[in-house]
Chains A and B, each alone.
Chain A
């Protein structure tokens, strides 16, 4: 892989990242989610924060998160997203699935398979 190339987001992983971030942080607005993802990833993941919206819209339409208007600590209005019951369930399933695939990839790449 070319050096300095930043990791694009692997198809389908963004939803999982968002769900997990919201579960860890509790209800948060889009900016806080983006800031958290950038902080956790260091320099690895650089996202245009606008690209979170399709995932947020999708997850909300699937009933996995729910957005409500609220106020930040600095008293600005923002839409806070919280993980729903069905979101928790989806997160558990997807996490397991992701681990399986990651494990399989690791096996194949390290030549054990």
Chain B
């Protein structure tokens, strides 16, 4: 329970949590490099070996993110923001799309409204099944 609260809270302090994580992983990498230097590795090897011992820097970050928050919510929010930005960048397309959706909704609502009134709604009398239509021909 406590963990869920903490994960939810991290959704709102995403940037702070991200900064903290970068700092921690950078320090981890520095310590690894220090160790490999101490063992006398060549400088270009040191950085490579340190990243490898960590299992890849980006992979480590990804694991951290998944554990500390709800990654799918963060991704969803990012996708929505991305969509909104793109729509704003193409106003012509946006207007057309909005109109198309509006017309679609409007048309279906109208048709359903008519159909509902004519076919489905019971007649406004006490016992609709006993209403008859009488006709005479001459």
Contacts and interface: CB of A to CB of B under 8 A. Distances in A.
Interface stretch (A1-9, A76-84, A88-96): A76-84
Interface in B23-46: 23-25, 27-28, 30-32, 34-35
B56 interface: yes
A33 to B, nearest CB: 10
B80 interface: no
Contacts, number: 73
B55 A50 contact: yes
Contacts of A48: 53-56, 59-60
Interface in A46-93: 47-51, 53-55, 57-58, 61-63, 72, 74, 76-79
B67 A49 contact: no
B63 interface: yes
Interface residues of A, number: 24
A55 B28 CA distance: 16
A49 B32 contact: yes
A49 B2 contact: no
A31 interface: yes
A30 interface: yes
Contact of B68 (A35, A61, A79): A61
Contact of A61 (B3, B35, B56): B3
A32 to B, nearest CB: 8
A29 B28 contact: yes
A48 B32 CA distance: 12
A55 B68 CA distance: 10
A53 B31 contact: no
Interface of A: 29-32, 35, 47-51, 53-55, 57-58, 61-63, 72, 74, 76-79
